[in-house]
Amino acid sequence: MDTSAARSDRARRRRAAALSVLRTLDLQARWRRCGDPVVVGSVALDLVVEPDIDLEIYSDAPSVAEGFAVLTPCAELPGVRRLRFNNALDLDDHGLYWRLDYEVAGGETWQIDMWWLPGDHPGPRAADLVGPLNAALTDETRDAVLSVKEGAAAAGEPLPGVRVYQAVLDHGVRTYPEFVAWRARTPTDGLTSWLPAGPRR
């Protein structure tokens, strides 16, 4: 029988694997030549289910050329399978995006999403969620988040993490079927500036 302790242990092991990937690729040190790299998302929150890592990099002036100067050497590293780029500086995201796919021993591929954003980025910013979420989440709601995420992973459905946190913290969702029902009656498209209401009690 699956338990909250088992889910927590899986998440802990997944986070350790994510941090190992970051160390192997030395991505934070590579990005420091351009700005301030911040680990965000599930790795920062210790709620890792899927093999995904999210980084945001902040500086005064994101540069396509400098970003490729950072990441092109990574393309030659063992295990790096793909590198993608999107210039969204003039779109709603207001940033430069790279995705790196890295295959670890055993064949699992980690997706690393990197957004280079200006320091005065108007938001929403994933970096602004980490502190409030860590303050608001309890052991019980953390387990609910993991339950929803694992249910989605088993169904092969990618989920935006922020919507899972919103559903769990603001709407009492505790399982993947409950999340599916909540999403069916809730607009979840596009960017959101949602933040948790307050710290845990």
Q: Cα separations (Å) of 109 from 17, 24, 26, 52, 157?
A: 11, 14, 17, 9, 17
| Helix residue ranges, H only, 26-119 | 27-31, 41-45, 64-71
Model pLDDT, residue 191: 78
pTM of the predicted model as reported, rounded to 2 decimal places: 0.92
DSSP SS3 for 100: strand
Model pLDDT, residue 90: 93
Q: Average pLDDT for consecutive 10-residue bins of the chain (201 residues)? A: 90 97 96 97 96 97 97 96 96 94 94 95 90 96 97 92 94 96 87 77 49
Model pLDDT, residue 198: 65
CB 129 within 8 A of CB 44: no
Structure tokens at 94: 């207001």
Q: Report the Cα 47 to chain-centroid distance in Å.
A: 10
Model pLDDT, residue 159: 86
Model pLDDT, residue 106: 86
Model pLDDT, residue 152: 95
Q: CA torsion angle for 142, 144, 149, 155 (degrees, to 10)?
A: 160
Model pLDDT, residue 190: 76
Model pLDDT, residue 182: 95
Task: Return the axis-axis angle of helices 176-184 and 161-171, rounded to nearest 10°.
Answer: 90
